[in-house]
Chains A and B, each alone.
Chain A
Amino acid sequence: MKHSTRMWTGMIALAATTVFALSACSPSGTQTPEASDSAGGLTPVTLQLQWFAQAQFSGYYAALDQGYFADEGLDVTIVEGGVDIVPQTVLADQQADFAVAWVPKALASIEQGAGITDIGQIYQRSGTLQVSFADQGITTAADLTDKNVGNWGFGNEFELFAGMTKAGLDPATDVTLVQQQFDMSALLAGDIDAAQAMTYNEYAQVLETVNPATGELYQPSDFTVINWNDEGTAMLQDAVWANTERLASDTEYQDTAVKFLKAVIKGFVFARDNPQDAASIVVAAGSQLGASHQLWQTNEVNKLIWPSPDGIGIIDTGAWDQTVAVAKTAKNLEGSTVITTDPPDTAYTNDWVQKALDELIAEGIDVTGTSFAPIEVTLNEGGN
């Protein structure tokens, strides 16, 4: 049977190739939580982030690196996000114990049925800007008239739309809206007059770019920014979210929530007092961003948190109400709002964060940062 031996040789070759391919497969840095492990009696906890490891999440990584989670008896696994990962959904599906998400996006998820609760408002202010070249003279929302206005869409645009509406502009007719990529090339190339940017990321990117006219990096004086905190349409951003159902009934989970918040707050206090170390921790966690960019991001994130007069993590009723009001009224281009009705009472609670703060204050930790002063960060080309 000459025929079949040949065929079997072929099949064995095929099998050998696939086995070889399999053995070559050793994906590095898998990120699945080891939920079943409770090493040394620690409670396993999974935290879902919105994006890759970067200094935006400095406090969480600092808490992990400095052992604050372990001190509280928690074995925390930080799961990074991705383009299509929605932390609120992951949390509502109970595939994570806690999640970091922006308040408006979480409100939209709650309206769609996700049972999640804001238990710690880490960022006290919004970090979203609208950046333009200084010669455009765009300093307020009203100046956007007849300009090419960039926005990211996907629920990131509502502060901008609310700001324009508040300034008496009709976003549909008075400006030209441009869908923006997540880099700043369109602003630099002139396709966009006013581009959306986070203080801690995209704004730094333009300042890391060489100005072809001078041969040196762009300077802050080359740009003007609209800050939505000043325009009064800012919405709350990074917060720690917990599963509402478990928070209501599971005393162990409540206990874990307080411990988790304590460690996270200590992590952000560490990042406030040691920005350089916090930036290094995030780089060690696998961030690909450059060192100066990372330090800038740590510093800008600190500015969004500190000072926190009521204590970091406390949800300020005024800021919350403003977020809800904008979420209910600001219409985007499709005419839709973030939410249509008021969120349920379970959407946020200060109970657990207050408990955590009380314990931390008793330990002598400064949770308000009244004397906080940001550092000066020099950005290098490419953020390196």
Chain B
Amino acid sequence: MMRLWRRLGLGALSIVLLALLWEAYKAVGPAGGVDMAGLQLLPRTTDLAMPHIADMVIRALEPVNSSAGSAPVWIAVLLAGVSSLGTASVGLLIGSVIGVLLALLMQRFRLAESAVLPWLVLSQTVPLIALAPLIVSWGGRVQIGAFEWERWMSVAVIAAYLAFFPMAVGALRGLQSPDAIHTELMRSYAAGWWKSLLYLRLPASVPFLLPALRLGAASAIIGTVVAEVSTGAKGGIGRLIIEYAQSGSSDPAKAYAPIAVAVVMGLIAAGVVAALGLLLPRYRRNEISA
């Protein structure tokens, strides 16, 4: 317990340090920034480029705009963050299932591994912004009975597309991790593929799956935010980042609230994966670091 508090304290301290660093540079840095041969090396320190931390906090406490019934910025961004986190979770779930299934396929059939793995790597080189409109367009054609494809689902698919890759690679490494001596033992018991999967490979893959899940969760959140920016899906944090950035020159402090929430989303995702790890201590005897 003490260790947890210490870690939380250190985390908070690093945020304070970052804020101090921001303010310190703003105080001493030249207003025009530092540039060398036309290349901007250090940012400008004007209120436009670097608002005071206090201004950001005050702005976050004020209403979004002056229209009646407008919620404070922090509530608006928090609600958007919850919505995006939900979308990212769906994406991560789909991505994990697909990733693990692909890993099982590749572990089971050597041929599948040589056939599928290059495609997995290739899949991650397709730029997200090229993909997003396509997925929205395909999604728009899906209509099964009363089921209607909604735009957040396209966002979740894009998140899944990013998240499945670390899951597939991590799960494959995990499934292949048992030593030959262990697999031979299973074979000597006449255990089939299913049995050795259940009693040997799956337990052995946990130390690989947890870091993969951590990477996958981060990817899912990045994918969600970028896809929301790209497709303009309403209600999410990506949309708010764009909308607040639009008034970036006249209301610069406002734009930092959704960015802060996006960071918090990442922390929450990492926290959930860490908590999951606490439930599985039995399998983490020699966990590899991500």
Contacts and interface: CB of A to CB of B under 8 A. Distances in A.
B65 A206 contact: no
B66 A52 contact: no
Interface of A: 3-4, 6-7, 9-10, 13-14, 17-18, 21-22, 24-32, 34-36, 51-52, 80-86, 89-90, 93, 95, 181-185, 187-189, 201, 205-206, 208-209, 212, 280, 283, 286, 288-294, 380-384
Contacts of A293: 247
A10 B278 CA distance: 10
B210 to A, nearest CB: 11
The 7 closest A-B pairs by CB, nearest first: A82-B232, A25-B86, A21-B89, A382-B251, A208-B250, A183-B248, A27-B152
Given A14-B276, A82-B231, 14 more contacts: A6-B282, A17-B272, A21-B89, A31-B151, A52-B242, A80-B234, A182-B245, A182-B246, A185-B248, A205-B246, A205-B247, A206-B249, A288-B64, A291-B66
Nearest to A207: B250
Contacts of A31: 150-151, 233-234
Interface of B: 44, 46-49, 64-67, 79, 82-83, 85-87, 89-90, 92-93, 96, 129, 132-133, 136-137, 140-141, 143, 146, 148-152, 198-199, 202-203, 206, 229-236, 239-240, 242-252, 254, 272, 276, 279-280, 282-283
Contact of B44 (A10, A34, A189): A189
Nearest to B147: A36
Given A7-B202, A32-B149, A286 B86 contact: no
A316 B250 CA distance: 36
B86 A26 contact: yes
Given A21-B86, A34-B148, A84-B230, A185 B282 contact: no
Report whether over half of chain A's contact residues are helix, strand or loop; otherwise say mixed: loop
A95 to B, nearest CB: 4
15 contacts: A17-B272, A24-B85, A25-B83, A27-B87, A30-B151, A85-B231, A183-B249, A185-B252, A188-B48, A288-B64, A289-B65, A290-B67, A290-B251, A294-B67, A381-B250
B143 A35 contact: yes
A234 to B, nearest CB: 24
A184 B245 CA distance: 10
> Which of A18, A81, A201 gathers most chain B CB within 10 Å?
A18
Report whether over half of chain B's contact residues are helix, strand or loop; otherwise say mixed: helix
Contact of A36 (B48, B93, B129, B146): B146
Contacts of B82: 24
Given A26-B86, A32-B151, A384 B66 contact: yes
A36 B144 CA distance: 11
A16 to B, nearest CB: 10
